[in-house]
Every structure is written in C-alpha cells, then in structure tokens.
C-alpha cells in the first residue's frame, strides 16, 4: 500500500488527538508535524513484531504530540499564566480573559509547592514527572494535587456567589 491509502484510512487519528488536546491556535502546524511523524511510523512499522497499525499509530502519535508540547514549554522562558491559558484553553477571547483572571485570583491561595505542582500540571506533566522536577515523593505530589483541588473547589464556590 502507498502512503495515500494509509493516510485516508488513519488521518482521523491525527484529528482526534488534536481535538482531544484542544489544539486550535496552531492546528495546521501540529497537523503537519503529526502527518510527517505518521509517515515515518508507517515506514518503520513491522506488523510481525508490533501492535495493530491503528493502535501503534495512535499511541506513538500521542506521545509525539506530548513531546511537542514539552519542547514548546522549554523554548519559552517560563510558563506564565497567560501562556498556559492561551496554549491549553480553546475558548473565545472573553472566556480566556475570564479564565486568566480566575487563575490570577486563585494562585495566591496556593503554597509555593502547590503552585509549582499546578503550573507543571498545566504544562501536561504527569505525577511521577512532577515529583522528579520538584524532588519530592509521588505521595507528596498527590497530596499537593488533593490540596489544590480542594482549594479550587472552595474558591469556585465563593466565585459563583
């Protein structure tokens, strides 16, 4: 089979991944990068030693997309509230401003470790990766998570009033 046949059959994987991560700002750029990666993966695919092609493509493209997010995060000097909301929130401008304002009001309620956890989580890091970066145990990171969620629920309850 040629690549066009594979493309027609599996292009929805790319669209699904981009929509599931709420990519709207650089949709075409991410789409092209994932398409190139899909072509490379199909070229290297060996059906005798690996998963079914659709599962193989989905998992590898998902991990590649996450790597792209992390690379973009490293290219920026530091994650600010504005970059986090613009990168990960696919909303109207008014909703983005409201989200940024809510986050600015919420962040001072957090301890320094909770704030670090929160900003790393916004970047897409998993608990174990956050634990490594903060040089804490995974159980401590889980406590930060639980505390942030509790504070956020209390904050939102007050914000709705």
Does one domain contain both 66 and 15? yes
Between CA 21 and CA 27 the distance in angstroms is 11
78: left (phi over 0), alpha (psi -120 to 50) or beta: beta
pLDDT of residue 143: 92
Does one domain contain both 7 and 37? yes
Closest alpha carbon to 17 in 70, 85, 51, 68: 68
Count of residues making up the chain: 161
| Token pair in block for residue 15 | 């669209």
**CATH code of the domain in which 133 resides:** 1.10.10
6-55: pLDDT as tens digits: 888 888 999 898 888 888 777 888 889 999 998 888 888 887 776 788 88
pTM above 0.85, yes or no: no
Q: In terms of DSSP H, where are the helices of the chain?
A: 3-20, 27-44, 53-75, 81-88, 93-106, 112-122, 127-134, 138-160
Does one domain contain both 86 and 50? no
Does one domain contain both 57 and 91? no
Does one domain contain both 44 and 115? no
Question: For residue 123, what pLDDT band results from cuts at 50, 70 and 90?
Answer: confident
pLDDT at 141 over 60: yes
Does one domain contain both 13 and 55? yes
């Amino acid at each position: 089979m040629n690549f066009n046949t594979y493309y027609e059959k599996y292009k929805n994987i790319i669209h699904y991944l981009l929509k599931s991560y709420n990519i709207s700002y650089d949709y075409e750029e991410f789409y092209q990068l994932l398409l190139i990666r899909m072509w490379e993966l199909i070229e290297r695919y060996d059906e005798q030693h690996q998963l079914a092609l659709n599962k193989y493509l989905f998992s590898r493209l998902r991990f590649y997309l996450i790597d792209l997010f992390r690379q973009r995060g490293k290219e920026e000097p530091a994650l600010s509230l504005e970059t986090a909301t613009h990168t990960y929130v696919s909303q109207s401008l008014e909703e983005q401003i409201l989200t940024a304002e809510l986050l600015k009001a919420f962040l001072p309620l957090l301890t320094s470790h909770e704030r670090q956890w929160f900003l790393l989580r916004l970047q897409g890091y998993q608990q174990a990766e956050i634990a490594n970066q903060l040089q804490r145990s995974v159980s401590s990171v889980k406590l930060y998570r639980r505390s942030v969620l509790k504070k956020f629920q209390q904050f939102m309850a007050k914000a709705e009033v």
